[in-house]
Every structure is written in structure tokens, then in C-alpha cells.
Structure 1
Amino acid sequence: MMWWISLLCFIPTNNALNTMIIHHGALMTCIDTEFAQKETWKDCVTSCAQNDTCVIAQANLTTPNECQLCSIQNLMHIQKRFRGNMIIALKTVSLDPITESMCTPFELGTINGHFNNTSNLTQYEYSTQLSEDGNVLNFSYSAMKSCPPQWEHFDRARGSWCIKVIRQDGTHVEASKACNEYNAALTGLETENETYHIWKTAYSLVERYPSQPKITERIWIDGVRKVTCQEKLTFNTKEGCVSFDGFDFEDKFLLEKQGYTWEQHNPDRLGPDSGPHQDCLALWITANNRTIDDEMCSKVLDDAPVKGFACGKEAG
């Protein structure tokens, strides 16, 4: 009697039909397994098929309701021949022609597959390599992430980043909340290219929809002065408060801050003796000027209004 049984199971998801390759007598090695209680093994397979990052489901047929799921970044390898009563289901949208020609891709030993997340903005591709003893499939993968329509893609040290410029009145807090509605945050400025894109896009919007009368404008970007750096006389000299070190940033992918350049004589943290001071960052939108000013977080309109903001989020 053959030690394996393999079949293809088609599970509907929000964006496509995912193929779940089911294989008996195999065991996965996952560095962070998610455990879930399911009614049946089929429910376990469906759960993985409809999860954006899950690549493999596993269970013991003696207790099929004890479902084990593994995300693609956590799967290490698959042991093909395992004496226990284990069963696995590997996810893919399609297999390469060589794999499809075999009765079982596990027996072939080399599996190349791919699938997308629900938004279709992340495509995962993976492959396996057979060990020398012919029993272990070593797993490797890559992820290609893209941005939604009307968002610009940038490569950062911490990963792919998407930026969108929006022309809309509001305070710094209101701008931050508006970005949250896009599952984003006010974007930082990792590079000069990001700053140039934001400035160019915002400037074109100013030209298209000028203020009445048309005057110099700014847009909100990420950066709020730390509470510990708000002392009037030492806000830019105290240790840990010099220049942009004195600000907190929501943009968790921000590392270098090479796109931030102060306007002349800034930061100045102007404000009345009592009351709010200039503790939020804004980008000037003037001809050939892409510099940063610290501004009152509640500012909306005056001689240089804040008339928009730039949001950012991880690609995919």
C-alpha cells in the first residue's frame, strides 16, 4: 500500500480560488504555529485558504478539530514521510507546469507555487528544495508588495511604503485621524525622493484648487514635538531634543529622515507666553521650496494656511 494520498481541494476566498494540496503522512516545521479549534479538517483547510498569510494547515486525523496553521514567513520545512497520523494542506493559486504533470508534487520534491492576499496587493511566491535523503522539503519564499491606486510606492530600508497626498483643511490631529481611515498614518520623509513627490503632488493641487486669494500653503506631515522637549528655552538644545530628535513619529517604517530639511531659522517653536506653541511639523508648498517648519498643531488658516496632509502605509 502506498504511504501517501494526494488530492487538490478548491476553497473559495474573497479574491480567487485557492488550491489546497492535501497530503497524508507529512509533518510541517513552523517557528510560530497558530492553534485553533475547528469542527472538521475541512474547516481547518478553509481557514487557511481564507487567511491572507497562511500557507499551510495541519492536523492529526485522530483529533482533526485541533487545527494548526502556519504563516508563509514562519514555515521552515515539510517532512514528507512521517509515521504519525498527520495530514497537511499547502496553499497555492496555481502550480508550475512540471508540478501539475505529476501525480503528487510532494513526491516530485520540488514545488513552486504562489497566492495573493485578499487585496491582491501582495503576491507570495514560494518554492521547495528536496533534502539529500529525499524526505524533507526545505521551504523558501518571497513577497512582492504593491500600493493601492492613487498611492505612490517607495522602497525603504524597513520595507515597501505607500504615500498619498490629500488636499483637505484640518488640524494636525484631524489630519492624523483622516489618514487612519485609510489604515494609514501621517507619513514621515525617509528620503528626498519622498519629499519631492509630496511637494510636487501638493503643489499641483494648489495650482488646481488655489486658496482664495491664492497664498503660500503648507501640508501636515508626521512629527509632533515630545513633551519632554517643550521647555521654552531648551526645546532645541536639551539632550535628546536637538532638531528632529525632539519629535515623536507615527510612521513606524521611518528610519533615516533624510527627507526632512528645516526652513531657515527653524525650528523656532513660536507661540504666546501661555498657550499652544509650534509643536507639529508641516511641509512648505511654495515654488522650489520643500522645507519643514514647526507649526501650531491646531493651525488651519492664516497668512500661510495648512491645507492638506500626506498619509503613508505599508505596501501590500
Structure 2
Amino acid sequence: MKLSILIFFCFLGPILAAIGRYDSSSSWSSESHEGRGSHGHGHGHGHGGRPRPPRPPVGPRPPREKTNCPAGWMLFKRPQGNWCVKVFVGQFNHFQSETNCVGQGAKLTGLQTDEERLKVAGAGLQLIHQNGFQQSTLWLGAKRKASCPTIGICAPKDAFEWTDGHTTGTDGFGWHPGQPDGSWRNGFGHEDCALQFLFASGTTSQVWPGFIHGQLNDRWCQYSDNNSRLYACGKLAT
């Protein structure tokens, strides 16, 4: 009997020790889990419980700069919008040249800057050489202001205005000294339109002494002769 009781307690001790270790492990696991849960909960409110501010709205994209011109047309960059220009060959007066430009979806062009004036003169010079001309005039989109019919009433750069509806300013009015003089001719009236003198030499010509290649002059709008061979059209870039 005593031997049986002794054997019983020998087995009971290890069992009770194992149960104690299990309870201790379960308690630690529970506390650890709660600690992690508490830590994770706190992390979710890292902004002090306030929602994140909304992202600022994305602004509209700036408009694409229009730089496309038809083949053979020059691109002139202007602050009010880019402009395409081409010089054409043809013996016409001012009105006929304007009609031809309209057929190109354009108008007789003005000259925004002195640089544009020189570039148009350069394009005209190439056509003079290609066609074997010695000199030519080139019609532009400019007309005399009604308030400035003759020389001396207005300053030279204020006597005319551009007519293409796009060109601005007066920097492109590179007149020959003493022009525009507004000469009068029976059946024509005053010289109310503007053209550019172009010479095969790129400098001067004996036909018009004193004039320099690329300078502007006023002329009767209805006038056309053997030297009226060029005109320049302009339209908006796309």
C-alpha cells in the first residue's frame, strides 16, 4: 500500500510541474499579444486621430506652343502667337496679292520686328536669284493711316498700320529715309500701301539709287509694273 502511494506521488510531481509551465507560457503569450495589439492600435493613430490632409488639386497643363507651319513656310515666334510666312512669286498689285494670300488661308503679312523684315528680305533674295531677277518689290500687309495722308503729319513709323490682324508694333517698319512720303498720282491718289525693295546684289541697285536691300517704301495700292514680282503671306501656326 505504501509502495503504491509512493509511486503515485512520483508521477504526480512531474505532471503538476508541466501544468505550471503551461499556465505561465499561456499567460505570457496573452500579455504579449495584448501588448502588440495596443502598439498596433497606437500606430494607426500616428496623426493624433486627425485624418490626413487632402492632396492639392493638379493644375491644368499649360497650352501647347503652336509651332507647325506648312512646308516651305518660315516660323516667326511672336508673344501674341507664332506666325508662319512665305514669299511668293507673281506680278500683281497690292489688292491682287492680298487675294492670292487669302487663297492660301493667309493674308499679306506684316513685320513684327526688324529681324522679321530682314528674314523676309532674305527669302525674297533667294527667289530673285532662282528666277533670274535683278530687282523686285515685295508687297506687305500694311496701309497708311487715314490721319497721316502725307509726309510730315506723322512720324514715319506711325504713318502706317499692319493689316493682317495679328502683327503689332512698329519695329518692322524699316523705311528708307524720307519715306513714306505719300506721293500723289492722278487716278491713284496717295501712296497708301507698303512694299519692300529687294536687289539681286543684296545691297543696292542702279534702278532705285539710294535704296538699300530690304528697306520699305510706300506705293500706290493699284500699281504694278515689271518689278512688282513678289508678295509675302502670313498666317497663324498650328
User: Could you tell me the TM-score, scaled by structure 2's length?
Assistant: 0.66
Does the CA contact (< 8 Å) of 1:156 and 1:253 recur in 2?
no
Q: Note the 1:247-262 alignment, pairs <5 A.
A: 247-262=160-175
Tell me which residue corresponds to 1:33.
Answer: none
1:64-98 per-residue CA deviation (whole Å, 9 max, x = no partner) reads: xxxxxxxxxxxxxxxxxxxxxxxxxxxxxxxxxxx
Does the CA contact (< 8 Å) of 1:157 and 1:255 recur in 2?
no
Q: 1:274 to 1:161 in 2, by over 3 A?
A: closer
Which structure shows the bigger proportion of residues in strand conformation? 1
Q: Note the 1:110-259 alignment, pairs <5 A.
A: 133-134=54-55, 136-145=57-66, 146-210=68-132, 214-230=133-149, 235-238=150-153, 241-259=154-172
1:121-180 per-residue CA deviation (whole Å, 9 max, x = no partner) reads: xxxxxxxxxxx6248443222313121111111111212111110011111111111111
| Aligned mates of 2:219, 2:127 — CA distance in 1 | 21
Answering whether residue 230 of structure 2 is matched by residue 308 of structure 1, we say yes
CA RMSD of aligned residues (A): 2.1
Tell me which residue corresponds to 1:269.
Answer: 182
Q: Note the 1:62-101 alignment, pairs <5 A.
A: none
| Aligned mates of 1:265, 1:197 — CA distance in 2 | 23
Q: 1:274 to 1:183 in 2, by over 3 A?
A: closer
Which structure shows the bigger proportion of residues in helix conformation? 2
| Aligned mates of 1:199, 1:137 — CA distance in 2 | 46
Q: Displacement, 1:263?
A: 1.3
Unmatched segments (≥5 aa) in structure 1:
1-131
| Aligned mates of 2:112, 2:158 — CA distance in 1 | 14
1:197-238 per-residue CA deviation (whole Å, 9 max, x = no partner) reads: 21111112112213xxx54311101211123322xxxx2333
Q: Displacement, 1:274?
A: 6.2
Matched position secondary structure for 2:62: strand
Q: Displacement, 1:261?
A: 1.3
Does the CA contact (< 8 Å) of 1:188 and 1:257 recur in 2?
no
1:92-132 per-residue CA deviation (whole Å, 9 max, x = no partner) reads: xxxxxxxxxxxxxxxxxxxxxxxxxxxxxxxxxxxxxxxx6
Unmatched segments (≥5 aa) in structure 2:
1-52, 204-212
Larger gyration radius, structure 1 or structure 2? 2
1:7-66 per-residue CA deviation (whole Å, 9 max, x = no partner) reads: xxxxxxxxxxxxxxxxxxxxxxxxxxxxxxxxxxxxxxxxxxxxxxxxxxxxxxxxxxxx
Matched to 2:147, the amino acid is T
Q: Which has the higher contact order (CA 8 A, sep 6+)?
A: 2
| Aligned mates of 1:198, 1:177 — CA distance in 2 | 20
1:230-285 per-residue CA deviation (whole Å, 9 max, x = no partner) reads: 2xxxx2333xx331322232233322332321113211222336642211100000
Does the CA contact (< 8 Å) of 1:221 and 1:309 recur in 2?
yes
Matched position secondary structure for 1:180: helix
Does the CA contact (< 8 Å) of 2:97 and 2:231 recur in 1?
yes
Tell me which residue corresponds to 1:294.
Answer: 218
Matched position secondary structure for 1:310: strand
Matched position secondary structure for 1:176: helix
| Aligned mates of 1:189, 1:293 — CA distance in 2 | 14
User: Could you tell me the TM-score, scaled by structure 1's length?
Assistant: 0.51
| Aligned mates of 1:215, 1:141 — CA distance in 2 | 48
